[in-house]
């Protein structure tokens, strides 16, 4: 089925009305709350276990109503149905988008796409993963010397790393004691070296996560890990220095998450120990697929099922709740309001839970790789700004780093605060400090006091009159005044459980989808990551010393590569340095003598890299926007299928 062209949001009646609302808006959260006691209750919602307070956002009831109208006018209901039913909405790769099918549950049935029984295949693969995870956890999967596995090392990058790392950190209280998971992603050799440090090869299991088993970073790291394993085992005498010994060791200490079974076998991994997923699962949407195998091992199959069930709770809310009560829709449309009308291009996610310290990084890929597009799904240029810069840090660390910018800077930065009622580690400060912190104080409550206070401070600020009333010298009043009217959303849940984490992830998946629909972009491809990777392969020979490859680079790249080679040589051979002697390049031995001993070497014959040339750069077709301004508040008085081998990119 050919999908219709996207609707230009600027052509809709709702967009016209929202533009009018913005131009006449005078944000006044203090005033709005003072005159509308029911505002907080009316603009708070329940989605599964998540209580979501939207009342401190810079919207009126009329603005919210028009945002919901806009969602209908760009055909959001039809797009939701198309995604969940398996239509090929990823048009640039001609694929369905069915990460939601990964969590439909063991009793799900009836989802057939292109002849594939999706529910049957998903459940079969999940059972295979669960069985494997149980074998590792129960010490039934043994290494080559008969020892149980104590450390699992996940090798992947992008969605094969960010999701598993984030979940592993978030669900730390649910991990099996004595079984550690480490993650290698960066091709920087320091990453692998540091992650392998202190490991016993006899008790280490590697999971190589690459759908096509061709991802350069992942496969390079996998080969290095294989090399480390074999050399270590041979050196200790654990295996014989024979092909058969190496083959057995690799089969016992490596498994794969991939659909390219031929390449898996070439690497030395038994294809039986390869866990698959499908081309309708994008990398950044794959943590609930076989990519989560390391998580299933860490927290156990039952907890992993609870994790998936959490996604399903939010999926059901998203597909069945009216838009005026639908949290993913409301939050997604609020983001549209801030990006496209209030010119806020940065969005902070601030979890008041240390276990979620990797959540902002996870959301960076989810949101920016999905919606950082300048063309719509039909190939036409976008008509409005798209995407946001997502960032953040766990509280209260962020308070002592960048909250100054959020509170008193000139940029409008919407914030999402996330907190949990029950702490993973309830502690009390028995001594206290004799002042603000009383003896026996509940530390989690001190922590959450900051969660509540920060959104309050952002919303209501502190007027000059209030600052003066504290006896502040007049010269310091401006510096101590807070404008307020800084928008935020607060999300509160009972406890950070596997289910609640699944709900949180699915919430942001659907928020991202909603925004993509309004903007008319394909949120499920990522062509923007391809060019740099291809150019890296072209530059690599130059970096390694090829003068021919270097000569084909642009002047800037030639200069940088040449400088790198000089610095690398100087660092590795600190006893030598290059000097110029009558036009010749010479190597000088650095000695205590005043005059160095010099031996000549021929100069390189390649042409100068300093030749200037003009380069035409195509400008992205982004519409001009006004300078970001927060509408001022009025003056006021002081007041209180089976896995396939389809050509899929790893992301």
pLDDT (tens digit, 9 = 90+) per residue, 166-225?
999 999 999 999 999 999 999 999 999 999 999 999 999 999 999 889 999 999 999 999
Q: Is 3 contained in some domain?
A: no
- Let me know: does 167 contact 328? Beta carbons within 8 Å: no
What's residue 488's pLDDT?
A: 98
What's residue 68's pLDDT?
A: 98
Confidence class for position 2, pLDDT limits 50, 70, 90: low
What's residue 219's pLDDT?
A: 97
User: What is the biggest distance separating any 2 CA atoms in the chain, rounded to whole angstroms?
Assistant: 86
Q: Is 343 contained in some domain?
A: yes
Which of 147, 129, 128 has the alpha carbon at shortest distance from 253? 147
Q: Which ranges constitute the DSSP H helices of 379-497?
A: 403-408, 443-460, 464-469
Instruction: Identify whether residues 344 and 383 lie together within a single domain.
Output: yes
Instruction: Identify whether residues 209 and 351 lie together within a single domain.
Output: no
**Which residues constitute the domain of residue 35?**
10-73+321-427+442-524
For residue 439, which phi and psi values (nearest 5 degrees)?
A: -60, 135
Instruction: Identify whether residues 257 and 370 lie together within a single domain.
Output: no
> Which residue bears the tokens 């959450």?
448
Q: What is the mean pLDDT of residues 12-16?
A: 98
Strand partners, 599: 587
Strand partners, 598: 588
Q: What CATH number is associated with residue 471? A: 3.40.50.10490
Tens of pLDDT, residues 58-88: 999 999 999 999 999 999 999 999 999 999 9
- Let me know: does 512 contact 523? Beta carbons within 8 Å: yes
Question: Number of folded domains in the chain?
Answer: 3
Instruction: Identify whether residues 546 and 454 lie together within a single domain.
Output: no
Q: What is the pTM of this model?
A: 0.88
| Per-residue pLDDT at 618 exceeds 60 | no
| Per-residue pLDDT at 597 exceeds 60 | no
Tokens matching residue 592: 């205590």
For residue 375, which phi and psi values (nearest 5 degrees)?
A: -130, 155
Residues 6+ apart with CB under 8 A from 65: 324
CA distance 136 to 138: 6
Tokens matching residue 257: 């998450």
CA distance 221 to 187: 7
Instruction: Identify whether residues 128 and 148 lie together within a single domain.
Output: yes
Instruction: Identify whether residues 116 and 182 lie together within a single domain.
Output: yes
What's residue 577's pLDDT?
A: 53
Instruction: Identify whether residues 225 and 142 lie together within a single domain.
Output: yes
> Which residue bears the tokens 């003072």?
34
Tens of pLDDT, residues 386-438: 999 999 999 999 999 999 999 999 999 999 999 999 999 999 999 999 899 99
What's residue 3's pLDDT?
A: 65
Instruction: Identify whether residues 367 and 499 lie together within a single domain.
Output: yes
- What 549-552 contacts at long range (C-beta under 8 Å, 24+ apart), as own/partner pairs, is 550/606, 550/609, 551/606, 551/607
| Per-residue pLDDT at 631 exceeds 80 | no
> Which residue bears the tokens 């972009």?
521
Q: Is 597 contained in some domain?
A: no
Tens of pLDDT, residues 437-457: 999 999 999 999 999 999 999
| Per-residue pLDDT at 627 exceeds 70 | no
Task: Give Cα 463 distance to the centre of its chain.
Answer: 37
Quote the crossing angle between the two packed helices 327-340 and 301-320, to the nearest 10°. Answer: 70
Tens of pLDDT, residues 155-166: 999 999 999 999
Q: Which residues are catalytic?
A: 369, 400, 533
Among 472, 490, 524, where does a domain finish?
524
Instruction: Identify whether residues 121 and 172 lie together within a single domain.
Output: yes
Q: Which ranges constitute the DSSP H helices of 573-623?
A: none
- Let me know: does 370 contact 284? Beta carbons within 8 Å: yes
Task: Give Cα 340 distance to the centre of its chain.
Answer: 23
Angle at 210 between CA 207 and CA 211, to 5 degrees: 125
Among 524, 556, 575, where does a domain finish?
524
Q: Is 421 contained in some domain?
A: yes
Q: Is 315 contained in some domain?
A: no
Q: What is the mean pLDDT of residues 560-573?
A: 94
Q: Is 432 contained in some domain?
A: no
Confidence class for position 4, pLDDT limits 50, 70, 90: confident
Among 574, 589, 604, where does a domain finish?
589
Q: Is 97 contained in some domain?
A: no
Q: Is 547 contained in some domain?
A: yes
CA distance 206 to 218: 12
Instruction: Identify whether residues 162 and 287 lie together within a single domain.
Output: yes
Instruction: Identify whether residues 198 and 279 lie together within a single domain.
Output: yes
- What is the chain's mean pLDDT, rounded? 90
What's residue 650's pLDDT?
A: 39
Tens of pLDDT, residues 328-349: 999 999 999 999 999 999 999 9
Confidence class for position 629, pLDDT limits 50, 70, 90: very low
Instruction: Identify whether residues 175 and 290 lie together within a single domain.
Output: yes
Q: What is the mean pLDDT of residues 269-273?
A: 95
């Amino acid at each position: 089925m050919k999908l219709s062209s996207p609707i230009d949001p600027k052509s809709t009646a709702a967009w016209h009305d929202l533009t009018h609302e913005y131009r006449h808006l005078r944000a006044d959260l203090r005033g709005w709350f003072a005159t509308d006691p029911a505002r907080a209750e009316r603009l708070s919602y329940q989605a599964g276990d998540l209580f979501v307070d939207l009342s401190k956002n810079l919207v009126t009831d009329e603005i919210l109503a028009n945002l919901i109208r806009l969602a209908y006018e760009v055909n959001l209901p039809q797009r939701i149905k198309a995604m969940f039913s398996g239509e090929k909405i990823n048009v640039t790769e001609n694929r369905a988008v069915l990460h939601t099918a990964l969590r439909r549950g063991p009793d799900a049935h009836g989802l057939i796409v292109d002849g594939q029984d999706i529910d049957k295949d998903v459940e079969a693969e999940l059972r295979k993963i669960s069985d494997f995870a149980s074998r590792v956890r129960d010490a039934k999967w043994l290494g080559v010397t008969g020892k149980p596995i104590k450390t699992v090392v996940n090798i992947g990058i992008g969605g094969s790393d960010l999701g598993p790392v984030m979940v592993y950190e978030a669900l730390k209280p649910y991990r099996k004691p004595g079984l550690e998971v480490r993650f290698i992603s960066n091709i920087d050799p320091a990453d692998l070296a540091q992650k392998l440090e202190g490991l016993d090869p006899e008790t280490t299991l590697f999971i190589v996560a690459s759908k096509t088993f061709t991802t350069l970073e992942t496969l390079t790291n996998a080969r290095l890990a294989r090399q480390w394993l074999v050399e270590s085992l041979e050196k200790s005498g654990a295996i014989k220095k024979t092909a058969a010994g190496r083959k057995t060791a690799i089969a016992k200490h490596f498994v794969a998450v991939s659909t390219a079974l031929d390449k898996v076998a070439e690497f030395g991994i038994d294809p039986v120990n390869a866990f698959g997923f499908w081309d309708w699962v994008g990398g950044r949407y794959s943590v609930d697929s076989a990519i989560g195998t390391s998580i299933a091992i860490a927290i156990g199959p039952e907890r992993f099922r609870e994790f998936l069930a959490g996604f399903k709770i939010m999926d059901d809310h998203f597909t069945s709740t009216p838009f005026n009560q639908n949290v993913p829709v409301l939050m997604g449309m609020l983001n549209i309001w801030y990006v496209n009308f209030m010119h806020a291009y940065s969005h902070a996610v601030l979890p008041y839970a240390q276990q979620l310290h990797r959540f902002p990084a996870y959301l960076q890929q989810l949101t920016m790789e999905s919606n950082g597009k300048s063309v719509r799904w039909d190939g036409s240029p976008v008509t409005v700004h798209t995407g946001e810069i997502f960032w953040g840090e766990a509280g209260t660390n962020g308070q002592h780093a960048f909250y100054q910018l959020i509170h008193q800077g000139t940029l409008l930065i919407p914030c999402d605060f996330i907190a949990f009622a029950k702490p993973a580690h309830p502690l009390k400060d028995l001594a206290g400090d004799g002042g603000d912190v009383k003896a026996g104080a509940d530390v989690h409550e001190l922590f959450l006091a900051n969660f509540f206070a920060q959104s309050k401070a952002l919303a209501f600020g502190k007027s000059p009159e209030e600052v003066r009333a504290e006896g502040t010298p007049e010269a310091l009043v401006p510096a101590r005044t807070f404008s307020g009217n800084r928008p935020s959303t607060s999300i509160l849940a009972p406890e950070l459980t596997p289910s609640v984490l699944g709900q949180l992830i699915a919430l942001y998946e659907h928020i991202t989808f909603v925004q993509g629909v309004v903007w008319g972009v394909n949120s499920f491809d990522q062509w923007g990551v391809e060019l740099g990777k291809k150019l890296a392969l072209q530059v690599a020979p130059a970096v390694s010393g090829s003068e021919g490859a270097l000569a084909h680079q642009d002047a800037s790249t030639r200069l940088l590569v040449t400088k790198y080679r000089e610095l690398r040589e100087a660092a590795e051979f600190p006893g030598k340095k290059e000097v110029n002697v009558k036009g010749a390049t010479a190597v000088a031995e650095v000695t205590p003598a005043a005059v160095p001993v010099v031996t000549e070497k021929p100069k390189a014959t390649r042409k100068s890299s300093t030749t200037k040339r003009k380069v035409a750069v195509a400008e992205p077709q982004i519409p001009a926007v006004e300078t970001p301004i927060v509408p001022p508040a009025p003056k006021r008085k002081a007041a209180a299928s089976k896995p396939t081998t389809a050509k899929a990119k790893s992301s």
